[in-house]
Structure 1
Amino acid sequence: MLSVHLLAVLAQPVLAGRYLIGDVDAMAAHGLVGSLLALVAMFVIAAALAYVLVVRGRVWILPVTVLLFLADGFQIGVGYSRELNLHVPLGVGIVVGAVLLTTWAWMPVAARPRGRR
Structure 2
Amino acid sequence: MDVLQPTTARPTRRPRVSLWALRFLLTGHLLAVLAQPVLAGRYLTGDVDAMEVHGLVGSLLALVAMALVAGAIAYVLVGRGRLWLLPVTVLVFLAEGFQIGAGHSRQLELHVPLGVAIVVTAVLLAAWVWTPSAARPRGGAR
Q: Given the two structures, how large is their TM-score scaled by the length of structure 2?
A: 0.81
The SS at the match of 1:56 is coil
- Spell out the pairing of 1:1-117 with structure 2 (5 A cutoff): 1-116=25-140
Distance in 1 between residues matched to 2:56 and 2:83, nearest whole Å: 31
Distance in 2 between residues matched to 1:21 and 1:74, nearest whole Å: 26
Distance in 2 between residues matched to 1:5 and 1:82, nearest whole Å: 23
Q: CA RMSD in A?
A: 0.7
Instruction: Give the letter aligned to residue 98 of structure 1.
Output: A
Unmatched 5+ stretches in structure 2: 1-24
- How far residue 115 of structure 1 moved from its aligned partner, in angstroms, is 1.2
Percent of counterpart pairs with the same letter? 76
Instruction: Give the letter aligned to residue 66 of structure 1.
Output: V
Distance in 2 between residues matched to 1:70 and 1:96, nearest whole Å: 15
- Of the two, which has the highest radius of gyration? 2
Unmatched 5+ stretches in structure 1: none
The SS at the match of 2:35 is helix
Question: How many correspondences in the alignment?
Answer: 117
> Quick one: higher RCO (CA 8 Å, sep 6+), 1 or 2?
2
Instruction: Give the letter aligned to residue 41 of structure 1.
Output: A
Distance in 2 between residues matched to 1:44 and 1:2, nearest whole Å: 7
**Which runs of 4 or more aligned residues in structure 1 lie more than 4 Å from their structure 2 counterparts after TM superposition?**
none
Deviations 1:66-109 (A, max 9, x none): 00000000000000000000000000000001100111111111
